[in-house]
């Protein structure tokens, strides 16, 4: 299996090595921020992850919202079919009730 992003050796202190899967723009952004703030690369990653304290719950919420979209779409299609059926039945009733010549 090929990873979505290749493993890259990140700028870490000589006593540590870190491997992560990240796209190049993300690595460059974090490296620039670490250099600008004069802080370790890993600290910047931890700080950014801390901005999302309920990330797992947010992922679950996204899944539930997608499921609700599916449920509402199915309900909408049933409602449309019901409305069309009612209109069709009314038209047939009117056609049967119409007077005929003869």
pLDDT tens profile 6-24: 555 555 554 445 556 667 8
Cβ atoms of 88 and 80 within 8 Å: the answer is no
The token duo for 44 is 């910047």
% of the chain with per-residue pLDDT over 70: 77
Angle among Cα 7, 13, 19 to the nearest 5 degrees reads 15
Cβ atoms of 18 and 1 within 8 Å: the answer is no
pLDDT tens profile 36-62: 999 998 898 888 888 887 877 888 888
């Amino acid at each position: 299996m090929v990873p979505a992003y290749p493993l890259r050796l990140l700028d870490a202190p000589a006593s540590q090595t870190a491997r992560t899967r990240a796209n190049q723009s993300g690595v460059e952004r974090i490296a620039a921020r670490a250099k600008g703030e004069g802080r370790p690369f890993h600290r910047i990653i931890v700080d950014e992850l801390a901005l999302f304290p309920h990330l797992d719950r947010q992922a679950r919420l996204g899944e539930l919202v997608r499921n609700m979209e599916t449920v509402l779409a199915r309900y909408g299609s049933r409602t449309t079919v019901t409305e069309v059926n009612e209109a069709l039945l009314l038209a047939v009733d009117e056609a049967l009730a119409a007077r005929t010549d003869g």
